Amino acid sequence: MQAFWIQLMANFFKENEKKKVNKKSTKSNIITIDKLDLNGCGVGRYQKKPIFVTGSLPNERVEIRIIEQKNKYILAKLLNVTKASEHRVVAQCQHFTLCGGCDLQHLDYAEQLLFKQNKVTELLARSGLSRELIDQLPWQKPINSSQWNYRRKARIGVQFDKNSQAIIGFRQKATNQLVGIKSCPVLVKPACDIFPLLKALLAKLTIKKSIGHIEIISAETADKGEHLTLVVRQIRPINEHDRQLWQEYAEKYAWTVQFIENTKGQDNSDVHSGISRAELTYKLPDDIQIQFSHTDFIQINQPVNLAMIEQALVWLMPESKDQVLDLFCGLGNFSLPLAKKVAKVVGVEGIQVMVDKARANAKSNQLDNCQFYQADLNIPWLSSSWAKNNFTKVLLDPARAGAEQAVAQVSQLNIGTILYVSCDPATLARDSQILLEKGYKIAKIGLIDMFSQTKHVETMVLFQR
């Protein structure tokens, strides 16, 4: 019986604590925002707790309504800005407050870059970099391009409301529901205004609810030059009426349209069909052409990608006798431009299909001093045959998970120069600490603003022993 009452009282207090923690407020409050967190969300103090207010900026007085209370922090909704920051600007996108694609459109662009640099600095400090080294970081001029109309690849979601009307757009913030988009100013032209066209087209389809999503890619093909390719994911096979309708729109707007139907072939793979099929390409320095398919990873900001490669070549200072190891090489985005400058490049990638395409890209560009290998770089690879070369320089361009195991092994190769291209400052900070502990120093560091108007940060760091 005593155990029963103890459990009952425990449940009572647990339930009361739960109610207290999740309590919502119907009234509004005025608070001051002190800073932005690492995700670009405004942070203030309320009832001795940090309070997070999406859409607010430092030094602003804002009217908020609490939407959720936790033990250690509070979430609130921004109702009104009573005293605006001098760095606040009018968001260019009409969907900014709902769409989850951009985070910083309300912040002046120069301040966006400062926020991103401070984000990298803070994460490096958290990883163990001393205040003295933080203050002495050799920051270089950031790589950037146009703030708008830069994104050349995007996946557009398709949902249908209760009236079977298509909702075409991107996910809302923190949900799986779509925002119906009319125009997206970060997409390249003419992709930014494609949404009304797709909505009109889908309204005419006979099996429109079979569409899962539509991927758009701005790239070159041999027959059309640079134009839009649309990849339509079908959960059921397309019929002839709908195929003809897509054909009409494709001809009118100069699209290439491909379909991926959720019908398994004999090898259990998706069946690909289309109005026309063409190899997609994009350009690199020295007239290099990279061929890719819609499933391949490419850098979505072409002007920034070109500038990033050029900077990598300048920072690495490649010489004709150099042998360069390119880890996480992908399609050869860095490998092929490097091969034009050095004696040999060895590219290593975890996915065999990407390795095959990198080899094909080297061959089509008549580069015979590139070798590409498949390997899981997160497990020991120093005994691999390709690792036995006398490398003089290393380039790493990992995914967001970073290159912890690869960096630890690279540090054992006694190579004086390492260039790290990062798309996640948290994993960059972790991996940098490994190299710093092995006797390397940061010779140069710079932002790469691949994703203007968002919280996402890319960084290039040159390490020298």
**Catalytic site positions:** 423
User: Alpha-carbon distance 182 to 167, whole Å?
Assistant: 10
User: Alpha-carbon distance 101 to 157, whole Å?
Assistant: 12
Residues written for the chain: 465
Structure tokens at 195: 């949404």
Paired sense of beta strands 225-234 and 255-264, if any: parallel
Query: Under 8 Å CB-to-CB from 375, ≥6 apart: which residues?
Result: 348, 349, 350, 381, 384, 386
**CA angle 180–181–185, rounded 5-degree value:** 160
User: Alpha-carbon distance 243 to 257, whole Å?
Assistant: 10
For residues 87 and 107, the answer to whether their CB atoms sit within 8 Å is: yes
Burial of 208 (0-12, 13-18, 19+ CB in 10 A): middle
SS (H, E, C) the chain: CHHHHHHHHHHHHHHHHHHHHCCCCCCEEEEEEEEECCCCCEEEEECCEEEEECCCCCCCEEEEEEEEECCCCEEEEEEEEEECCCCECCCCCCCCCCECCCCCCCECHHHHHHHHHHHHHHHHHHHCCCHHHHHCCCECCCECCCCCCCECEEEEEEEECCCCCEEEEEEECCCCCEEECCCCCCECCCHHHCHHHHHHHHHHCCCHHHEEEEEEEEEEECCCEEEEEEEEEECCCCCHHHHHHHHHHHHHHCEEEEEEEEEECCCCCEEEEECCCCCEEEEEHHHEEEEECCCCCCCCEHHHHHHHHHHHHHHHCCCCCCEEEEECCCCCCCHHHHHCCCCEEEEEECCHHHHHHHHHHHHHCCCCCEEEEECCCCCCCCCCHHHHCCCCEEEECCCCCCCHHHHHHHCCCCCCEEEEEECCHHHHHHHHHHHHHCCCEEEEEEEECCCCCCCCCEEEEEEEC
